[in-house]
Amino acid sequence: MTPKQQLNEARDLLRTGRYEAALARLVEYEGWPSPQMEQAHLLRAEVLLYRDPVDALEALARSSDVLRNDDVRFDYFLLSGRAYANSRNFDGAAEMFALAEGASGNAPARHAALAYQRARLRYFQADLNPDDPNFAVALTSPDPTIRLSALIWRSWMHSGLNNYRAQIADLRSALAIAREHPAEVELFAVARGVHALLRAASELADHEAVDDARDVFESLEWSPELAEEQFLCLRALAWDAFLRGDSARAQWLYRDAKEVAPSDAWRVMSHVDRGYVARMNHNEAWARDELMQAQAQARSVVWAATKGEERQALVMLAVQFATVDMGQAQRYVSTYTRMGKDSVDPTLAIAHDKRMTGYTYYASGCVNQVLGNTESATVAFETAYKIFDESEYHFRAALAAQGLAEVTGASIWVERARQHAGAFPKSAFYKYLTDRISKKTTPWIEGLSPMQRQLALSLCEGLDNQQLSKRFSRSEFTIKREVQALYDLFNVRSRNALRSVLEERGVL
Amino acid sequence: MIATLAVAVTVLVLCFAAAGFIVYYIRTVSPRKFDERRYSILESVQDGIFIVDDRWRFTHINEKAEELLHSTAAELVGRRVDKVLDPLASDLLPEMRNVRNSSMPIERTQFFPATNTWVEIRVQPAEHEVVVYLRDVSDRKRAEILLRDSERRLRLLLEQVPALLWTVDLDMRFTSFVGTATSAKGFTQEELGEAKVDQIRRVFSGDSQRFESYHSGRWMQHHVEPLRGANGQIIGAIGVALDITEMKETADHLARLARLDALTQLPNRFALEEQMIEMVERAENEERRLGVLFVDLDRFKTINDTLGHRAGDELLRQFAVRLRRAVDPEANVFRSGGDEFIVMLELGPTTSVPMISADIQLALAEPFFIAERQLFVSASVGAASYPDDGMSAEELLSRADSAMYRAKYSGRSRIGFFDIGGDEQAPYRLRLEQDLHYAIPHGEFRLLYQPIVDAVTTRLVGAEALLRWQHSKHGEIMPEEFIAIAEETGLIVPISRWVLHEACLEAVRIRASGYPDFRVAVNLSARDFGEVDLADTIRDILAETGLPPSGLELEITENMKIDDVALMTMRSLSSLGIRIVVDDFGVAYSALGYLKRLPIAAVKIDRTFIRDAGDDPQDRAIVRAIVALARSLDLEIIAEGVETREQWQFINELTCERAQGYHFSRPVEAGELLGLSLRAG
């Protein structure tokens, strides 16, 4: 095989996300003729960039000899800039891009590539401006991957500014490019686009856009090295299926997602997802099964080593555990908050996604609600609601509103919850939500604290004092006292009596 | 366990045979007939079964499947599988699709942690329909897990614990042999086989055996059981061998510790009882005699109280060493507690109870040096012998014990014999020693007084008290004979006390009769100065008798070892106003430093110098030198043994202050002093 052929093969492997194989093609190229030898150096560094930017920087530093060849100087500087950007050295990146500009020789393709990288750097620096002229230049690139990627990063800028319709529009344009040049675009970039579109569109009930994304998703040939992207797409598809009312399909997709999940944290997430769908469909036994598996799996996760979105599994777990085991829920929340927001990689797509913060507030609301900390719960739910509402994240907004309805008892929140949930009238959760709201706002419950409400319901579930103590993170003595207070309130003397009273009143 | 698995597998096979049967029916029988028959089959099967039609709708579901799906047939039949959200319904749809497409059955087991159940799921195609079998295999799975768990634990056990597990057939051939002990401890199959073949053979008759073996430094504990075949007949033996070497060593060590007195490193009371029983048995078998001696330190409590427990412990330690050395190496020496020691030995021609007692007392003759002090310690010994005094260990001990107490009552520092044949058998010295205890209570001591005069005027200025023992059998015994014994046994202490008391009384009497400066001189031994309470005792005696301190002189010998206790005692005595005189001065050529260190008021020039001074110019020179030395130390000089006029002249030349000797008077009884008409110069 000639050096040229080897280079082409390696490029193709990089494009299709087979990085190991690409690296295997790029060994012993020192004796190659120029410019293949220089290109091999750079290509190897580029492959490494997908795994670890520091490895890429090291490889670039070692191959600075290639700078003697004027033809590859631009590529060298551009790649260095990318590596600096990915390793969060933004000043270094800007410097490299300036050098690249000097070496570009006024070639339009190089200008476009450079403009894309500069636009991307802006995003990393939290400078969200979808009207950045760099995007316009990038979109003139002859390389479909650059055009596609530019659109994706611009879409994230839109979402960071709560402009979700514009985000969807950009992502659809990006995927159109992918469909147009299936053999030229980078799989990694496409996968990111698919995932982003699935998520954005499903939350906004933009079925057309979702179907678009699904078509592209199904046309892709996945590489095991892109398992995370595949996982995220499957998960987003599952979520869409659930919102559209196909819970069974959601469960299959979540199961498929779990099969390809690249980490324990993501596997935890899969179980939580499945448990959630089961619960929304009133299959509590299934929900418990999944939750227990999630809990078991969570023990093997080193949370501090997880990246931003993976880490959300903790929040999801906390929310699901809030009604089962308060102590456990609290532990998950505190683990999450302990790690802090600073550790979220700014180069991630979610870096400027406010909805991530919304989840945390929502989880905190759930925990506080069950603990009976009405004020804290209200503040947390309100903050979460505000974020979700602004994000047109109807499903979550409905949940936050429901939480507020339960905590405050105000009918306005019931209304809002219904409105948001109305965006997904077919989903299991719509019914679940409306059921729950109607129960929780029946007059009998008005005089009770949230803790007492939960306690009453848990009592009717048949939990004994020890289980209640665990669920509410209170001593058995306190539980005993609280239970007695409840009995006094309803003038009953046993769980069964309480149950029949509640049934009579239509609460259960 | 193999049997259980076999049953489980059989049931499984039957189950799938039934499943095949149903499928067969679905395929071949006409729909109407099929419906009737299959209902009955469905219900008769223990597993959950449901059937789904070509449009993924439930058509049939049996009772067990209803239970597993938490639903009823009425609710489910006609509904599409994907609308019944459950791990055993909707979640199986992708598999059902695959099965229908491929016509290949799918089987898997799923775990439900919330209910801790395992369900075996089999999805089987049947024409256009799909049949799903659900079987709760929790029991089997749990058993499997338990088995795996116990196997793992067993393996762990065998890996971690130094044990062997082996089986042999009836011909004593090893059929299996596992365990870490084989490699780690160098224990091999052959060794086990050789060592204990007979014991293992016994197992073949049906009894289990427990025994221990010792081989190349390792102790193994074996438990062997018969190994039985399927019909219960014995086909060999199965054994577990545990390496108990460390356990044994620890136990031995503990046993040794339990039998050893930590302080003296002598065997303690536990060991005593064990060994004594053993020795009595042996003596009985071999017709030998045994001696048991109870040795108890006298006044140990006082020592403990005045010098502290540390000193007391040190004394016990040193005493134990001496006692061990003093007795025959064959003898057993125990510390039975407190200050009690027991010596036990076989008696023979060279070892008799009195001899041992004497050896023990001899061992105490030298003072102990404890806490930088010199201590003289005496011990009371009680003895009993087998078979004369008792036939059992217990008896012997109690007799020796009571003998010791009797010895103690009759005065410390002596030996009591239990029922021993009579005084005649004991040596003279030992008898003397025994009798010495009775000398004071029996009033056998008396004091003679050797007058001391002013060397110039020959006026009576004092007297030296001289002890005499009027023995009931042996008549008068001179101090040279018994003082050594008294010192060795510690009896010197009470004796000196008696002497001091008597002498002081006499001095008071004489002072009151016109000799207000009269001083009485009492000889004290080194042993007396080793008594920490000597100064207190003397103060008490002075107070009791009313003699002022200046009326008392204490005479010590030049060769007496002066330790710190003695020095302190001397200083405190001297500060009381009691004069201390060095007796027999000049004999030991005392170093100047020695004298300077002591609070001495006077020296008494030894009689030998005085005796020879009349003839020998060289002796005169020596005496002159001694006197000059004493003068330079500002000491008063007393001449003793002045027997002639020449001698008296000589001491006058030397300007001795005082003198004593036959030239002035022989020693006289108390009361005679006043009537003396002392010869003037």
Cβ neighbours of B113 in A, within 8 Å: 288-289, 292-293, 296
- B534-543: long-range contacts (C-beta < 8 A, 24 or more apart)? B534/B569, B534/B573, B535/B569, B535/B572, B535/B573, B535/B576, B537/B497, B537/B500, B538/B500, B538/B573, B538/B576, B538/B578, B539/B576, B541/B497, B541/B500, B541/B501, B541/B504, B542/B504, B542/B576
Structure tokens at B647: 């001698």
What's the one-letter identity of residue A396? Answer: R
What pLDDT is stored for residue B38 in this prediction?
A: 58
Per residue in A17-34, pLDDT (tens digit) is 999 999 988 888 878 888
What pLDDT is stored for residue A492 in this prediction?
A: 80
Given an 8 Å threshold on Cβ–Cβ distance, is B85 in contact with A281? yes
- pLDDT grade, residue A442 (50/70/90)? very low
What is the distance of C-alpha B90 from the center of its chain?
Answer: 78
Task: List alpha helices for B29-92, DSSP H.
Answer: 31-44, 63-68, 73-76
Nearest CA among A349, A419, A410, A406 for reference residue A174: A349
Nearest CA among A419, A424, A84 for reference residue A246: A424
Per residue in B625-641, pLDDT (tens digit) is 777 777 777 888 898 88
| DSSP per-residue codes, B112-138 | ETTTTEEEEEEEEEETTEEEEEEEE-H
Q: Could you tell me the sign of the dihedral formed by the alpha carbons of B668, B674, B675, B680, in that order?
A: positive
Place of tokens 């071949």: B28
What pLDDT is stored for residue B191 in this prediction?
A: 61
Asked whether A407 and A378 are in contact (CB, 8 A), the reply is yes
What pLDDT is stored for residue A178 in this prediction?
A: 93
Say how far apart CA A43 and CA A30 lie, in whole Å: 13
Per residue in A85-144, pLDDT (tens digit) is 988 888 889 999 999 998 888 899 999 999 999 999 999 888 889 999 999 999 999 999
CB neighbours of A158 closer than 8 A, spacing ≥ 6?
A130, A164, A166, A167, A170
Asked if the model's pLDDT at residue A483 lies above 90, the reply is: no
Given an 8 Å threshold on Cβ–Cβ distance, is A252 in contact with B94? yes
Work out the minimum CA distance from B262 to partner chain A, whole angstroms.
53
Asked if the model's pLDDT at residue A350 lies above 70, the reply is: no
Work out the minimum CA distance from B88 to partner chain A, whole angstroms.
10
CB neighbours of B554 closer than 8 A, spacing ≥ 6?
B521, B522, B524, B538, B573, B578, B579, B580, B581
What pLDDT is stored for residue B463 in this prediction?
A: 93
What pLDDT is stored for residue B503 in this prediction?
A: 93
- pLDDT grade, residue A382 (50/70/90)? very high
Residue of B86, B91, B114 with shortest CB distance to A252: B91
Residue of A246, A251, A285 with shortest CB distance to B114: A285
Structure tokens at A313: 């599994």
Given an 8 Å threshold on Cβ–Cβ distance, is B93 in contact with A247? no
Interface mutation vs chain A, best among B70, B75, B85, most A CBs within 10 Å = B85
* Contact status of A249 with chain B (Cβ, < 8 Å): yes
- pLDDT grade, residue A445 (50/70/90)? low
C-alpha R_g of chain A: 26
What pLDDT is stored for residue B541 in this prediction?
A: 92
What pLDDT is stored for residue A134 in this prediction?
A: 94
Could you tell me which chain B residue has the CA closest to the CA of A285? B114
The phi, psi pair for B110, rounded to 5°, reads -120, 140
Element (H, E) at A392: none
Given an 8 Å threshold on Cβ–Cβ distance, is B90 in contact with A286? no
Query: Looking at the predicted complex, does its ipTM rise above 0.85?
Result: no
Q: Please count the other Cβ atoms lying within 10 Å of the Cβ belonging to residue B131.
A: 23
Say how far apart CA B294 and CA B317 lie, in whole Å: 17
Per residue in A179-194, pLDDT (tens digit) is 999 889 999 999 999 9
What's the one-letter identity of residue B411? Answer: G
Residue of B91, B114, B115 with shortest CB distance to A251: B91
Model pTM? 0.55
Say how far apart CA B519 and CA B531 lie, in whole Å: 24
Q: What are B's interface residues with A at a Cβ cutoff of 8 A?
A: 70, 81-83, 85-87, 90-91, 93-94, 112-115
Given an 8 Å threshold on Cβ–Cβ distance, is B82 in contact with A289? no
Say how far apart CA B381 and CA B361 lie, in whole Å: 9
3-state SS, residue A343: coil
Given an 8 Å threshold on Cβ–Cβ distance, is A289 in contact with B114? yes
Could you tell me which chain B residue has the CA closest to the CA of A278? B85
Give the count of Cβ contacts less than 8 A between chain A and B: 44
Asked if the model's pLDDT at residue A444 lies above 90, the reply is: no
Q: Please count the other Cβ atoms lying within 10 Å of the Cβ belonging to residue B204.
A: 16
Residues in chain B with pLDDT values less than 70: 1-45, 157-162, 179-196, 408-431, 434, 488-489, 587-594, 614, 677-681
Q: How far is CA A146 from CA A115, A135, A255, B192, in A?
A: 10, 10, 33, 79
Give chain A's mean pLDDT.
85
What pLDDT is stored for residue B421 in this prediction?
A: 34
| DSSP per-residue codes, A47-72 | HHHHH-HHHHHHHHHHTGGGGGSHHH
Eight-class DSSP state of B348: B
What is the distance of C-alpha B152 from the center of its chain?
Answer: 45
What pLDDT is stored for residue B426 in this prediction?
A: 42
Nearest CA among A353, A360, A356, A320 for reference residue A338: A360
What pLDDT is stored for residue B243 in this prediction?
A: 77
Say how far apart CA A33 and CA A47 lie, in whole Å: 21
Counted residue by residue, chain A has a size of: 508
Work out the minimum CA distance from A284 to partner chain B, whole angstroms.
10
What pLDDT is stored for residue A346 in this prediction?
A: 57
Say how far apart CA A365 and CA A399 lie, in whole Å: 11
Given an 8 Å threshold on Cβ–Cβ distance, is A286 in contact with B85? yes
